[in-house]
Amino acid sequence: MPYRRLPNTDSARLRAMQKALSKSEDVLPMDLPYSAATLQELRYFLPEFNQAIMMQRDVFERQTSKNKQHQESFRKARLYISHFIQVLNFAIARGEMKPDTRKYFDLPSDETKLPQLNTERDVIEWGQKLIDGEQKRLSEGLSPVTNPTIARVKVHYEDFVRLNISQKGLQENNAKALAKISELRGRADSIILDLWNEIEDHFSNNAPAVKREKAAEYGVSYVFRKGEKADADEDEIDLKLF
């Protein structure tokens, strides 16, 4: 038995409402198979729903396009931070700097192990510690760590921080856009359900196949279950209404 299938994606919801609204332009008001109130609701709601979906897609596309650049800046910042600490440890191992030098960077004086740099938060935290610590050392007239210098570390660190802030902003905007769509989705489903009920009721005096054909012109979607034939005996068809 064929049954009516309500839209389950936002694109399908848009198509259903757009088709009903577009079809309304081809018929006289008296011949419209749904009420003037429903038509008015479609005209007001559809642009809002469409705009919310387009806005979310735009934000998501920008977030995705910037992600590669963001990940590369994260890799570079982490690499320079790691190399700075390694060079510091080499200088201490050679006796060129004292083990207490590590304390400027909030590192244990007797620890040569690198800190965890697996997350964005780790990189932001340790990058700032290295910058602050080296600036303090230099202000005291101590020899700078070189290859890389803190200036080189700072360039890549600040680039990452800038891109990270931008990416977080895009993620927040995307979340807000998704929340807006979610808020509107329930209303869209309610409008479509009422719309399709009115359309089917308008054509209810027709034979089932004719009824489905006419309703489909206004966006109502029907599907046959697996193994069913579209030309099945109409006397055996019992439409499943939601």
Mean pLDDT of the chain: 91
Question: What's phi and psi for 52, nearest 5 deg?
Answer: -65, -40
Coil vs helix vs strand at 222: strand
| pTM for the full predicted model | 0.74
Question: How do residues 112-125 score in pLDDT, each as one tens digit?
Answer: 999 999 999 999 99
- Given a cut of 60, whether residue 230 has pLDDT beyond it is no
Burial 56-91 (b: 16+ CB within 10 A, else e): beebbeebeeeeeebeebbeebbebbbebbeebbeb
Query: Would you list the domain boundaries of the chain?
Result: 3-236
pLDDT of residue 2: 76
pLDDT of residue 225: 76
- Given a cut of 80, whether residue 227 has pLDDT beyond it is no
Coil vs helix vs strand at 223: strand
- CA–CA distance, 220 with 6 (Å, rounded to integer): 8
> Are 13 and 49 spatial neighbours (Cβ–Cβ below 8 Å)?
yes
pLDDT of residue 228: 66
pLDDT of residue 224: 81
Question: How do residues 11-48 score in pLDDT, each as one tens digit?
Answer: 999 999 999 999 998 888 889 999 999 999 999 999 99
Q: Say which amino acid occupies 192.
A: I
Question: How do residues 69-98 score in pLDDT, each as one tens digit?
Answer: 999 999 999 999 999 999 999 999 999 999
Q: Where are the beta strands (DSSP E) in the chain?
A: 3-4, 222-223
